[in-house]
Structure 1
Amino acid sequence: MKYYLIAGEPSGDLHGANLIEGLRKADPEAEFRFWGGDRMAEAGGRQNLRKHYRETSFFGIVQVLKNLRTIRRQMRECREDVAAWRPDALILIDYPGFNMKMARWASGHGIRTFYYIAPKVWAWREWRVKSIRRYVDRLYIIFPFERDYFPRHGIDPVFEGNPLVDAIEARRPTLPDGDAFRRRNGLDNRPIIALVAGSRRGEIRDNLPLMARLAERFPDRQFVVTGVPWLERALYDRYMAGTGLRYVCDQTYETIAAAEAAVVTSGTATLETALLGTPEVVVYRTLWFQVKLQPYVLKVPWVSLVNLNLGREAVAEIIQSDLDVARAERELRAILPGGAKRGRMEADFEELRTVIGGPGASERFARRMVGELKKNRT
């Protein structure tokens, strides 16, 4: 059968690649075409990559407005390509700003549509639930708490675990120990604190200077910034100049695994850090009025995926218009070796691994998709 996948971010590229490998096992005659990135190209054939996410990623209202003409052109190109290729299934991976519009279009053109990794409608923009119910043939979810949320809104989702576990377990055997990581990156012998400041320009701009202020209070540790390869080094240097922060690029898992603790912005990285077993503090800086509006706009009591999946505050969340360095220092000291909260947090992370599900989720999701298509054909 023929599968057309659309992912618009690095995380979607990773999960899309793992899903393609699962689909190959479940359907040996599978053919692929996709919008995604290098990982999907490696899994599904570079000749089948129609558009790289580097060309399609526009974050924030300002970027979207500035590139509105480009976005409309890309949407038109995508629809024309899907229509010409005539897939058995269109698989939309997260990326709701683009993919929800594709779902509506595909529904009107009789193309079977699977949504893999649901939009976070339980947090904000809940009105999208109606569109999912109307335009998506099958929704595949990756968080346990979503199993209760979506049925309340008339959607019967499929849950088979979280594919992030597959990505981490695939990398775990190759992760260096602390000493090897220090030697590889020219670091000194002090214990490492990982700084995961985000993967977008705005996140680096807002969070990294505040993390640098926190690092000043721990001269006996070295704070290592996890750079991402799609952002230039100069962006990081702008906020690291004159600080003692160290920088490594494209080694996020390696840095977190080598660290005795991490300071992480909200997002998928909070879950990755927990699954790697490294105690963490979640910090996120936003505009003051957004902090004030948070209780009215956000539909959930926490922002980190760790707390959302456990249903309680297992990791401290410091969401402010300006980082309270004193509180961040207290929370970080509490999870360092010997700290009052470290043992409890490590136990919580063990529970999280059980709740989130074991390895093999990508293959299980793929089997369910293939089975759904075969049932539909029959």
Structure 2
Amino acid sequence: MKYYVIAGEASGDLHASNLMRELRRRDPSASFRCWGGDLMQQENGIIVKHYREMAYMGFVEVLTHLPAIFRNIRQCKQDLLQHRPDVLILVDFPGFNLRIAEFAKQQNIPVFYYISPKIWAWNQKRVLKIKRVVDKMFCILPFEVDFYRRWGMEVDYVGNPLADAIAAREATDAALHGDQPLIALLPGSRKQEITRILPEMLRATDHFKDFRVVIAGAPAFSEDFYRPFTGSRQIQVVFGQTYDLLRASRAALVTSGTATLETALLNVPQAVLYKANALSVAIARRVIKVPYISLVNLIAGKEIVKELIQETCNEEQIAAELGKLLHDEPYRNRMLADYEVLRGIVGGPGASTRAAEKMLEYLSE
């Protein structure tokens, strides 16, 4: 069977690659044409365009890159028509993927959506478009089932694929251990967010000389990209070792995104940071309808981890929160106890397997 898979960022690349592996196990004739990243390529995916050429975050940032975005959409539509897959599988990335879904639907190409866009956070009426252009939705957050049902759409809940990714990665963190305890910095995967948030992270960690600081590098960049930020500081940057780094760390500073949930599932106390273009954040605050930005707090339905956003994402407030994460044992223990409840909500491994089985079941009908 011919699969066309689109993922527009690092987390989508991870989850799409795990799904592709499970599809290949059940469909030996599977071939994949992809918009994605290195992990999808490792699963025998032919990469049409790498996600590093597609990932823009923030209202203003998207507006300034509209010509490139529209060129990508045109190219994707042409490629989709040329290769006519048996199914189009979209992974999150709604601004791009919903446009492609609409086009594929017009061309009578089945559309599966793996990892729902966060439409429950803002502009919920987008669900009406999803009902029209998506044949099957596979959700990874438990509350999404009830959300879609309120809008008259039945979806499949398959569990969270992060549990798969973590279970599949054996601990190999010996090289990260040393005499000093570690602070992990996860500044994100996009250039815009790294540029705004990493300097604040680094200035905050300067207050903790007894700890070694290690940065989890994004796969789309090299170590040279990070050196202007670290300057004369003796800071290691690691690639492809984020889980190992987290397992070895006392605490973490994490840019809002999938990594916040990964950090919680790996049981590392954290603070969640976010800073973007001031106008983008102002617009977001007017339209976003949820009380938290981190997946950890959203899934739990309460504040487990501190969120430092825009004005509060600064050296002083980050350093104050990091001090509590490193030294305040009752504070740490409360967070770790809440993580235990969170893991129960998220569930164990198997999401990629369940999603692949469901997809093949629907395709065989």
TM-score relative to the length of structure 2: 0.91
1:174 aligned partner: 171
CA distance in 1, matches of 2:57, 2:290: 22
- Say which is worse superposed, 28-37 or 114-123, in terms of deviation: 28-37
Residues 55 and 190, structure 2, Cα contact 8 Å, conserved in 1? no
Residues 90 and 113, structure 1, Cα contact 8 Å, conserved in 2? yes
Residues 260 and 278, structure 1, Cα contact 8 Å, conserved in 2? yes
Report the 3-state secondary structure (helix = DSSP H, G, I; strand = E; otherwise coil) of the residue aligned with 2:213.
strand
- Say which is worse superposed, 273-282 or 346-355, in terms of deviation: 346-355
1:40 aligned partner: 40
CA distance in 1, matches of 2:183, 2:139: 32
1:271 aligned partner: 261
Q: 1:279 to 1:205 in 2, by over 3 A?
A: same
CA distance in 2, matches of 1:3, 1:354: 33
Q: Which amino acid aligns with 1:175?
A: T
Q: 1:244 to 1:297 in 2, by over 3 A?
A: farther
Q: Would you say 1:365 and 2:360 are equivalent positions? A: no
Q: Which ranges of structure 2 fall in alignment gaps of 5 or more residues? A: none
1:175-200 per-residue CA deviation (whole Å, 9 max, x = no partner) reads 324xx313xxxxx5211111111111
Q: What is the 5 A alignment of 1:1-378?
A: 1-43=1-43, 45-46=44-45, 48-60=46-58, 64=62, 67-171=65-169, 173-177=170-174, 180-182=175-177, 189-243=179-233, 245-288=235-278, 295-336=285-326, 339-375=329-365
Deviation at 1:245, TM superposition (A): 4.2
CA distance in 2, matches of 1:295, 1:372: 39
Deviation at 1:290, TM superposition (A): 5.5
Report the 3-state secondary structure (helix = DSSP H, G, I; strand = E; otherwise coil) of the residue aligned with 1:301.
coil
Deviation at 1:94, TM superposition (A): 1.2
Report the 3-state secondary structure (helix = DSSP H, G, I; strand = E; otherwise coil) of the residue aligned with 1:205.
helix
- Say which is worse superposed, 262-271 or 49-58, in terms of deviation: 49-58
CA distance in 2, matches of 1:86, 1:13: 22
Residues 58 and 276, structure 2, Cα contact 8 Å, conserved in 1? no
Deviation at 1:244, TM superposition (A): 5.4
Residues 334 and 340, structure 1, Cα contact 8 Å, conserved in 2? no
Q: 1:95 to 1:83 in 2, by over 3 A?
A: same
Q: 1:233 to 1:60 in 2, by over 3 A?
A: farther
Deviation at 1:284, TM superposition (A): 1.8
Deviation at 1:334, TM superposition (A): 2.6
Q: Which amino acid aligns with 1:208?
A: L
Residues 3 and 30, structure 2, Cα contact 8 Å, conserved in 1? yes
Q: 1:317 to 1:373 in 2, by over 3 A?
A: same
Deviation at 1:312, TM superposition (A): 0.8
Q: Which amino acid aligns with 1:22?
A: E
TM-score relative to the length of structure 1: 0.88
Deviation at 1:90, TM superposition (A): 1.0
Give the fraction of aligned pairs with identical amino acids, expressed as a percent: 46
